[in-house]
Chain A
Amino acid sequence: MTSPRTVARRRSGRILAAAAALTVGAAVALSGCASTSAGSTDTSTPSAFKQAAQDDSAPITVWADSTRLPDVQKYQKEHPNVKMNIVTYDGSADGSTYLQTKVQLFDRTGSGWPDVVFASPTDVTWASVPTSPSAQAFAAPVDQLVQASTLQGFATGSLAPCQVDGHTYCLRNDIAQVVLWYNKKLMDQWGYQVPTTWQQYQALGEKVAAQHPGYVIGAVGDTNSQESYFWSSECPAQQLVAKNTLKVDLSSPDCTRMASLLDPLIADKSVSTQGFFTQGFDGSKVLMAVGPSWYGQYLFNSAFKTPSGEIAAAAPLTWDGQSTPATGDVGGGIWMISSHSKNLKAAAAVATWLTTSTENLQAAPTYPAYIAGAKAWLANPVNKDYFADDVSNVFLAAANEVWTGWSNTKFSDATPWSNAVLPALTAGKSLTSILPAWQTAIANEAKSVGYTVVTQ
C-alpha cells in the first residue's frame, strides 16, 4: 500500500518537474528557438535517388488493391522464377491514407517498404519528396528505370500527376474520364433525348422529377462526386498556379454555375444527395449518372446488377456556347516503385508489364492509360458486351478532354467535400449556400500541408 506521504512527495515532484519544464519552455520561447518544421520537405529538391545494394534474385513485395490483384497474380503465374509476395490493401481509394501511414512508419524503422505499389495519384505528391530530413523519397523516379519510349506511349497528360520537378515518379494504370452514363432502355421507353448540354440535363431532370418521381439522373453524395460535377465544370477548386501556391476560388462563375444547376435538381430529388456507393442505393431507379468510365462495369454491372444491354455512355456534357469540351477524372490508379527496393530490375519489370503490356491491358478491369493498351482494351468484346452501344468513341474522346486545371494536391479532395459539404447537403442546405464553407475547408486542408492559398 502506498503511504500518503510518498504520494504527496511524488505529487510535489511531478509539480516541480512540470514547473521546471514550463520555465525552460518559456525561457527558450523568449530566447527564440529553431523552427518547428525541418524545413526540408517543402523547400529543398528531392534528395538524390540512392539505390540499395541490388540483388537480382531478391524477392519483391507487391501491394495491390483487390481489383488489380488478379493482374499481379497473372504476372506471378507467367513468371514463376520471380519471387513475389503479393499483398492486398485498400489501394489508397476514397482518401485512404493507409499507404502514407505505413511508409511514414517504414521511413522511421528503416525497413518494410513494398517494392511495387498500386496507389492513387494523390500519393505521388508525398511519395516524391522525403517524409523527414533523414528519409529518402519513397517513390523512385521511373524515368531512370523505364525506357523513355515506354513513357511516351501513355495517353496525353495521363502521366501529369506523376511528374514532379522534371522527374516521373509513377506509371499510370488507368484513366477515369467522366462521361454521361444513361439507361438506354428506359430513355427509349419514355421517349427522352440524351442531353448533350448541362442545360438540357437540368431540363431533363425536372421532367423526370415530374413524370417519373423516384428516378434519378445523378447523385452528389459520393466522396468523389465533386470530381464528376465540379471538375467537369472547370471549377478552380484546387489549382496549382505556382509551386506550392494553390488557387481556391469557389466563387468563380465556373463553380457557381454548377451549384445553381444542381440545386433545383437536388430539391426535386432527381439528383440524389446519397452516394451511388451508399449501402442499399436502389440501382434500378438510376436513369442517368455523370461519372467515370469505370461506372459501367463497377457501378452498373457489379453493384447495381443492371441487366446487360441497357446501359450506354454519351459524350461529356458541355455548357451552351462552350467551344472546347472539358470533363473530370475520378481516380485512376498509378503504380509506384520503391526507391528502397533491393531488386529494382524485377520491380520495374512487373510495374511495366502491369501498365503497358497489351496482354494484360486488353482484359484490364478499367480503361488503360497506355494508348496501345487502351486500343486493345476497346477491341476486346468482353469490355463492351455489357453495354447497349459501342462506348469506344465516347471513351477515346473523353480521355483527351480531361480538364487539367484540377491539380493533384498533397491532400485528398475527398476530405473537404465529405466533411464540409455532404453532411450539410444531408441536412437540407443548398449547394450554393455551402460553397463558402467548402472553400474554407479546402483552404484549411491546403494550408495545413504547406500550400499558400490564393483566390486569384
Chain B
Amino acid sequence: MPKFPKPKAPGLIGGLGVTFKTMLKGAVTVQYPHEREDPPTRARGVIALKEENCTVCMLCARQCPDWCIYIEGHKEKRPPRREGGRERTVSLLDRFDIDYALCMYCGICVEVCPFDALFWSPEYEYSESNIADLLHDKEKLGEWMETVPEPEPLEVGAEGKK
C-alpha cells in the first residue's frame, strides 16, 4: 500500500499558480449562436450537386460505403450535332437524393465522380428536427452549390493536380 508522500510544497503550489494564471488569461470560448468560427476551406460540411455536369453514371451511388445516394434517371434523344449525323442520347436526372442521416462524410462520391458534378462545401448548419428532412433532394443540393468555396492554393513544394 503506498504511503502518502512527504508534503513538498512546490508541486501543490505550482498547480495553484497554473489555475490562477489561466483564470486571469481569459476564456477561449466562442459563444456559438452569437459568434461563429469559420471552418477551413476543405472542411467536409455538405455535398453540393451541379446538375448540368451529371451524366447519371451511378458511380457515386455505387461507391458510397453506406449507399445513401439515391439516383434515378432517364434517357432522352437529342438532335445530332452536325447535319446527317446520328441522334444523340443524353441521360438526365430524375432524382438525386443524398440521405444525410446515413452519410458518413467520407467524400468518396465527390472524389470518384468523373464529371465534377459533386463538390464539398464547409456549410454545416443544416440540422433538422425531423429526421426525414435530412434527405436532401436535387433542388436543395443545387442550392448548396452557392456555398462551395474556391479551391485554395497548395503548399510550397506541391505539384499541381494531375
The answer to whether A binds B is no
Q: Which residues of A contact B (CB under 8 A)?
A: none
